[in-house]
Amino acid sequence: MSAGETTTRSDGRGAEGLGALAVRSIPGWLTVTIVPVVLLVLWETAGRAGILPTGLIPTPTMTVNAWYVWTFGPDTGGFNAYSGTWGGVVTNSAQRVVQGYVLAVLLAVPIGILIGWSSVVARLIDPTIQSLRPIPITAWLPFSIAMFGIKEYGAIFLICLGAFYPILINTTHGARSLDQNLLRAAMMMGASSRTILFRVVLPNALPAIFAGMRIGAGIAWSAVIVAELVAVKSGLGYVLWDAYYIGRMDVVVADMASIGFLGFLTDRLIIALEHRLVRWRHIR
């Protein structure tokens, strides 16, 4: 190899410099945990000191206890709905999310690629999609109940609808962001339209597709809760309302934490998948 040619990229240094400057002496894990730990301690102390009405706002330890019983407590055969039922409740919600979400990905990615690739397809379906998009999924609730009744399909419909738009829009954007020279390179090398679509446009759009999938997953979890609050009689959203009605605020907060945790887990899963499929974006 000739002089002046190296295998490393030149832009590898800048980011680290800033971080090191900020807090040099505190280890990374501590900087990350410091704020949540302080908040939890304040919350716990305020509850125990009687500043917070614990009947309305349970302390963190009360919440953890409630969650523990809810998850590991004996199955009382319906006598106590919040003993040993957590796994089943989570499974109910997660199944709906997975079904609606996968359906959304399967619809939004091909449609988004086609809209980005072909101006005819864009003119054909983009206006319809754009005019339906401002309707929030919460506004679709009555329609969805009317269509599907108090059934799984209503929840899956709402989840799919909510996740569909961000995935579609990001995919379209990704397909349109193809560098003109990459397209020209593919054409001069004799690639057919089909080959260009699958071997150039699609991989080029993958990072954008994943960006849309992450946003879509967040919306999917919101959608399942909304659907279960109103239209389906099971899952985390249903328990949320149900526990509130009988004054089990500790279960309500444990439920909220569970939703947050599952949303976080979903996001991590998508990131892991992205790192596998879009390895080229993360390598230097």
Partner 1 sequence: MLEENQQPMTENAIELSGVTKIFGGAKPVRALDDVALTVGKGQFVAIVGPSGCGKSTILNLVAGFEKATSGTVLVDGAPVGGPGPDRAVVFQEAALFPWLSVWENTVFSPKARGRPEREYKDKAKQFLSRVGLSEFHDHLPAQLSGGMKQRVGLARTLVMEPQLFLMDEPFGALDAQTRIDMQELLLSVWDELRRTVVFITHDVDEAILLADVVLVMSARPGRIRSRVPIDLPRPRSIDLITDPVFVALKREIFNQIRHEANIARLAAD
CB of residue 199 vs partner 1: minimum separation in angstroms? 7
182 near partner 1 (CB under 8 A) = yes
Among 14, 77, 78, 190, binds partner 1 (CB under 8 A): 190
Is 186 near partner 1 (CB under 8 A)?
Answer: yes
13 binds partner 1 (CB under 8 A): no
Among 26, 51, 106, 185, binds partner 1 (CB under 8 A): 185
Q: Which is nearer to partner 1, 26 or 182 (CB)?
A: 182
Two tokens at 271? 């990131």
CA proximity to 111, closest of 159, 180, 164: 164
Q: Identify the residue among 76, 91, 192, 193 touching partner 1 (CB under 8 A).
A: 192
Tell me the chain's radius of gyration from C-alpha atoms: 24
- Token readout for 128 is 């319809």
User: Judged by CB under 8 A, does residue 275 bind partner 1?
Assistant: no
The reply on whether position 179 binds partner 1 by CB under 8 A is yes
Q: Which of 28, 188, 245, 276 binds partner 1 (CB under 8 A)?
A: 188
Instruction: Round to whole Å and give the CA distance between 191 and 198.
Output: 11
d(CA 127, CA 123): 7
Q: CB-wise, 155 or 200, nearer to partner 1?
A: 200
Say whether residue 12 binds partner 1 (CB under 8 A).
no
Residue 177 touches partner 1, criterion: CB under 8 A:
no
CA–CA gap between residue 213 and residue 170 (Å, rounded):
8
Token pair listed for 274: 């992205």
Nearer to partner 1, 197 or 257 (CB): 197
Nearer CB in complex with partner 1: 21/283: 283
Closest distance of CB 173 from partner 1, Å: 17
Find tokens 């206006």 and name the residue: 127
Q: Which two tokens stand for residue 50?
A: 């009687």
Using the rule CB under 8 A, is 4 a contact of partner 1? yes
Under the binding rule (CB under 8 A), the answer on residue 49 touching partner 1 is no
Long-range CB pairs of 234-240, under 8 A, 24+ apart, other chains included: 234/89, 234/92, 235/89, 235/92, 235/93, 235/96, 235/155, 236/89, 236/90, 236/92, 236/93, 236/262, 237/93, 239/81, 239/82, 239/89
Contact 209, 109 (CB under 8 A): yes
* HEC string for 216-228: HHHHHHHHHHHHH
User: Interacting stretch for partner 1, rule CB under 8 A, among 38-46, 95-103, 159-167, 190-198?
Assistant: 190-198
Binding mask of the shown chain, residues 194 to 213, with x at each position contacting partner 1 by CB under 8 A: -x---xx--xx-x-------
Residues that bind partner 1 (CB under 8 A): 1-9, 179, 181-182, 184-192, 195, 199-200, 203-204, 206, 278, 280-281, 283-284
